[in-house]
Amino acid sequence: QKEVEQDPGPLSVPEGAIVSLNCTYSNSAFQYFMWYRQYSRKGPELLMYTYSSGNKEDGRFTAQVDKSSKYISLFIRDSQPSDSATYLCAMIEETDKLIFGTGTRLQVFP
Amino acid sequence: KAGVTQTPRYLIKTRGQQVTLSCSPISGHRSVSWYQQTPGQGLQFLFEYFSETQRNKGNFPGRFSGRQFSNSRSEMNVSTLELGDSALYLCASSQGQGQETQYFGPGTRLLVL
């Protein structure tokens, strides 16, 4: 079993929809939780990072962490075709290494 | 500020050869990390350097090595290339030792024939 599980998708939604992306993890020692967006042929781009359980909002993006369930989510409101990309969750373990999920491919169609 | 730059962007090598990839971090950033990204395994951590010292290392064989220079630029070397080393190699930089705010470069796509 991988330390971080993420549904690979693809997830296909119409423009304007609310998108929910999720990751589960097994290591309760994970402390920081990040979401990255990766466009084709580009490096990952940091979207958000959170430390504690709860919600963090940035524009159309909301990151949610539930440490008790070992579950994190990224919500995208009013999704746009330009949001079409692969979304990677990542977590930092106690040895300070970054562990990534395999990524979820999102397609937003007009 | 200029972002993280990586050279070369594309590389084709044959089995048994060695390769050196270069990374220039964002100005002022002292930490550089390297990752390998493949369709099957996703993004996997290779190693991290901070102030010219390797601070952390992933689970890769000794054929993968790296170093960091006094200007924070970093290189990674892969010796005795294998077909399975074909991947996108990504470099990321951060200001301090924290991994939570890393910024990635565009990557070097290596194809081993």
B100 touches chain A (CB under 8 A): yes
Cβ-Cβ pairs closer than 8 A, A with B, add up to 53
Residues near B110 by Cβ (< 8 Å), separated by ≥ 6?
B11, B12, B13, B19, B21, B78, B85, B86, B87, B88, B89
User: Which amino acid, residue B32?
Assistant: V
Nearest-CA distance B75 → chain A (Å): 17
Structure tokens belonging to residue B28 = 């002022």
Output DSSP code: residue A35.
E
Choose among B8, B1, B9: nearest CA to B29: B1
Structure tokens belonging to residue B33 = 């990390």
Of A49, A97, A103, the CB nearest to B56: A97
| Model confidence at A1: pLDDT above 70 | no
| Model confidence at A51: pLDDT above 90 | no
B45 touches chain A (CB under 8 A): yes
Average pLDDT in chain A: 92
CB-based contact A18:A75 (threshold 8 Å): yes
Structure tokens belonging to residue B67 = 């170093």
Backbone angles phi, psi at B85, to 5 degrees: -80, -5
Q: Which residue has the higher pLDDT, A50 or B18?
A: B18
Do residue B45 and residue A46 have CB atoms under 8 angstroms apart? no
- Residues of A with CB below 8 A from B38's CB? none
- Residues of B with CB below 8 A from A95's CB? 56
* Widest distance between CA atoms in chain A: 43
Do residue A98 and residue B106 have CB atoms under 8 angstroms apart? no
Residue listed under structure tokens 């977590």: A91
Q: Would you give per-residue pLDDT tens digits along chain B (113 residues)?
A: 689 999 999 999 999 999 999 999 999 999 999 999 998 888 999 999 999 999 989 999 999 999 999 999 999 999 999 999 999 999 999 987 777 788 999 999 999 99
Choose among A103, A93, A104: nearest CA to A32: A93
